[in-house]
C-alpha cells in the first residue's frame, strides 16, 4: 500500500491530479473512505444493482464476483487514470475502454453483457442485475 500512496503523491507533484483527489484516493487505499460520487435518484435505484462476474474453467477453478454497480462506477471514474500510471497495472488496463464502460453504466445497461465459452471449455459470464 505504501507504493500506491507514494505514486499518488508523485502524481500530485507532477500536477497530474490535485490535492483533493489525492486525499480521496489515499483514504480509499487506507480503507478510511469511499470515493465520493454524487448520484441522482435514478442512479440510486440502478445503483442497487450488482455487476456479477462468473468464471468457470475446465480444470474446475471457479470465480464468483459480485460488485455493487455504484462501486464499479466510482472506481472507474477515480481509478482508471491512476491505474494507467502504475507500471504494474498498466498492462492490465491499457486496452480497456473505460469511457465506454462508464457510458454503459450511465445508460443503465442491464442484463447479460458478456457470455464467452472458450475452445477448451472455460466460461466467462458477466451480468448486471
Q: Where do we find the cell 464467452? A: 116
Mean pLDDT score, 94-100: 69
Residue 122, phi then psi, degrees to nearest 5: -70, 140
User: How many helices and strands, by DSSP H and E, does the chain display?
Assistant: 6, 4
Mean pLDDT score, 16-41: 68
CA angle 41, 45, 48 (to 5 degrees): 135
> Is pLDDT at 16 greater than 60 in this prediction?
yes
> Residues 11, 55: one domain?
no
Q: Where do we find the cell 505514486? A: 7
Whether pTM > 0.95 for this model: the answer is no
Q: Where do we find the cell 488496463? A: 93
> Residues 63, 83: one domain?
yes
> Is pLDDT at 68 greater than 70 in this prediction?
yes
> Residues 66, 91: one domain?
yes
Mean pLDDT score of the chain: 75
- Which residue range(s) make up the domain with 122? 39-128
Look at residue 11 in the predicted model and tell me its pLDDT: 76
> Residues 27, 43: one domain?
no
> Residues 70, 98: one domain?
yes
> Residues 43, 90: one domain?
yes
Residues forming a β-bridge with 114? 126
Residues forming a β-bridge with 54? 64, 125
> Is pLDDT at 83 greater than 80 in this prediction?
no
Mean pLDDT score, 45-67: 83
> Residues 56, 29: one domain?
no
> Residues 11, 44: one domain?
no
> Residues 85, 122: one domain?
yes
> Is pLDDT at 66 greater than 70 in this prediction?
yes
Amino acid at each position: 500500500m505504501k507504493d500506491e500512496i507514494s505514486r499518488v503523491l508523485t502524481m500530485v507533484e507532477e500536477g497530474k491530479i490535485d490535492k483533493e483527489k489525492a486525499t480521496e484516493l489515499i483514504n480509499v487505499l487506507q480503507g478510511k473512505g469511499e470515493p465520493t460520487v454524487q448520484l441522482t435518484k435514478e442512479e440510486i435505484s440502478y445503483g442497487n444493482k450488482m455487476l456479477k462476474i462468473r468464471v468457470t474453467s475446465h480444470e474446475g477453478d471457479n470465480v464468483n464476483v459480485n460488485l455493487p454497480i455504484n462501486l464499479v462506477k466510482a472506481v472507474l471514474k477515480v481509478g482508471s487514470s491512476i491505474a494507467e500510471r502504475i507500471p504494474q497495472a498498466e498492462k492490465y488496463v491499457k486496452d480497456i475502454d473505460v469511457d465506454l464502460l462508464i457510458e454503459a453504466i450511465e445508460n443503465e445497461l442491464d442484463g447479460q453483457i458478456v457470455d464467452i465459452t472458450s475452445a477448451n471449455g472455460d466460461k466467462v459470464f458477466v451480468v448486471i442485475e
